[in-house]
Structure 1
């Protein structure tokens, strides 16, 4: 009778031989980065360099779009009048996308020429507890945001998932405008850090998001939050992760307890990615190659089921929670038609609310660099989440 251990050893040897036969110089560099990230003591500090290396080697096609989105959109080009026009266009788009939520008496924040990222220190005054573990692995931590005078244990909860092309997962900068605003509204926010590629291949990122949701359901009460209402939001790769978590609460993984509650009550995806299967254009082919070589570390043609399972476009169901999809019309990294298609398809399937806001002139990362558009969008997210929360409470009260 064949020895199973010998069969596994031969299979691994064959897999390694095939990798060496197909590998390019960049793959060897990436493998070295993964190995260095696993070193005791210093590996954690070297891990971000693997992410930078991966983007430089395997995503050079994204560079022109990245430069276009981060060049000068936060500067007051055209003066105060131009800022007011951009701000007015954003307010109009928000009012249209949330017509049944936004009232005519809303006081929208004034546009600013200062990039929101430069206000991060001021926003972080709402961080009440830093680096709270939600798991046993290094880096599985959240910061807890809330107002200093928050009392009780019934504040609605938002888990925020930062972006970073699935190779960065830091909670240090992104989402601060949103979480600060929600904290002022009386929410408890959890800013998530998670494991990333190339050291940790997919689906470790999603597993960490689900682990954090489960942790919040079980533990957020001690920080003033209501475990009965947990929403999730994210930007870019974080939007993808938030969306996928919202669409797949019943997916099980050995890394989570069988009784883990990973359901969410609402999802907000900001310039997220929704399609992990399409290779129809050169840009899509480059994106899929990046996923294959850096994030999933498997070929799509060999593991199509893995890519399909990770594609929100393929995971829609009628039981999806309420969704708010936000995307800039000038996003050169993830074109807006991907968000439009996702929102339209989800609306045709889901029994829950699906709202969509195209941000006129918004670029990828506008919430970090664009002071004219970020304020209205952040306020809109707050109104959407508050509306969903009030609807949920009304249903619960009626049932009782």
Structure 2
């Protein structure tokens, strides 16, 4: 027993030393802000080992199965004949950004990392446009608006929406709850400033992928929570009218399996900096599954059937629990053959996600306009 404890302790030392070094060089004046992404990548490399083999096997399996299905549909014998190469969404991101970016690198706070872009058409339809804030993923150690969500944003922009996509401060330099505080700051900015870009400050929605899905869900469920407000004033409005969670993680408490324990250890040592056993209230407060309530805004959850990083069963569990309590619509869509980050690598999955999200948000928007009209009458 002693030998195994000593072995575990020795194994921790190099990891802790590396993490400490990333926080040190990320906090350096002038150059530190440019080194923050490397700190996040280092943290993901240290903790991504348990997921890598399963993720690789699943990716290969999905590609083979999808090719076989395409071959069968085309009436062609053999998988090789069906290898129709489609440009992955991340490869089109630059063109989409060029086409729809209205104004870039707008500050929504005082930190250099608190930046967002505004996407919209040059000419908007009559009336204030609905607003979506997109929160990128990256395991709470990467929070960049580069590449992520572009298919969804472009689809909504073409339908007359004003879309915002944000950066936020991340661990290990910035510990939790800095990430959610920045998301709330961006929501408050949208409420106060969307009208300057043709947006409707009375209708602001939020969406996010992976860690961004967690942050979007948590923000939607906890408006006004003083622990998550950061530097915001008490009167800042952080409510949202709808939430879209795309392959998000909605449980920050479960330690029931080896993979879940590994994830919780990652949160403890990299993201939060405090042990769950000593501070369970921190993890409960940060867990959307534990923050469900009747007045939750409308929710749409979309997940890949073959996600090995965040299994679809976790999204189903969150959907079922929220559906039982919420007075507003809660919907769930599971995409066959899709894995984690499907909207970055597969065009058909990305398009489906964008279309279904737009349909859901449009329904919520129409109900909002009906309420406004009936109130005015």
Instruction: Give the TM-score taking structure 2 as reference length.
Output: 0.90
Equivalent position of 1:192 in the other structure: 166
Equivalent position of 1:397 in the other structure: 373
Task: Report the secondary structure of 1:136's partner residue.
Answer: coil
Q: Distance in 2 between matches of 1:80 and 1:235?
A: 27
> Is residue 59–residue 290 contact of structure 1 (8 Å, CA) maintained in 2?
no
Work out whether 1:376 is the aligned partner of 2:352: yes
Instruction: Indicate how the Cα distance of structure 1 residues 46 and 120 shifts in structure 2: closer, same or farther if over 3 A, else same.
Output: same
Work out whether 1:309 is the aligned partner of 2:309: no
Which residues of structure 2 form unaligned runs of 5+?
1-8, 76-83
Residue pairs, 1:163-202, within 5 angstroms = 163-202=137-176
CA RMSD across the alignment: 2.1
Equivalent position of 1:281 in the other structure: 257
Instruction: Indicate how the Cα distance of structure 1 residues 130 and 69 shifts in structure 2: closer, same or farther if over 3 A, else same.
Output: farther
Q: Distance in 1 between matches of 2:292 and 2:74?
A: 38
Decide which of 88, 91, 106 is 1:118's aligned counterpart.
91
> Is residue 305–residue 312 contact of structure 2 (8 Å, CA) maintained in 1?
yes
> Is residue 176–residue 272 contact of structure 2 (8 Å, CA) maintained in 1?
yes
Equivalent position of 1:228 in the other structure: 202
Decide which of 215, 218, 222 is 2:189's aligned counterpart.
215
Equivalent position of 2:80 in the other structure: none
Work out whether 1:264 is the aligned partner of 2:237: no
Instruction: Indicate how the Cα distance of structure 1 residues 187 and 72 shifts in structure 2: closer, same or farther if over 3 A, else same.
Output: farther
Residue pairs, 1:1-400, within 5 angstroms = 24-68=13-57, 77-78=67-68, 80-81=70-71, 113-124=86-97, 125-150=99-124, 154-252=128-226, 253-400=229-376
> Is residue 153–residue 222 contact of structure 1 (8 Å, CA) maintained in 2?
no
Shift of 1:250: 2.4
| Corresponding pairs, count | 356
Instruction: Indicate how the Cα distance of structure 1 residues 208 and 65 shifts in structure 2: closer, same or farther if over 3 A, else same.
Output: farther
Task: Report the secondary structure of 1:60's partner residue.
Answer: coil
Instruction: Indicate how the Cα distance of structure 1 residues 254 and 220 shifts in structure 2: closer, same or farther if over 3 A, else same.
Output: same
> Is residue 59–residue 286 contact of structure 1 (8 Å, CA) maintained in 2?
no
Shift of 1:351: 0.2
Higher relative contact order (CA 8 A, sep 6+): 1
Shift of 1:77: 2.2
Which residues of structure 1 form unaligned runs of 5+?
1-19, 86-110
Shift of 1:56: 1.6
Q: Distance in 2 between matches of 1:82 and 1:121?
A: 34
Instruction: Give the TM-score taking structure 1 as reference length.
Output: 0.85
Task: Report the secondary structure of 1:194's partner residue.
Answer: coil
Task: Report the secondary structure of 2:367's partner residue.
Answer: helix
Q: Distance in 1 between matches of 2:186 and 2:373?
A: 28
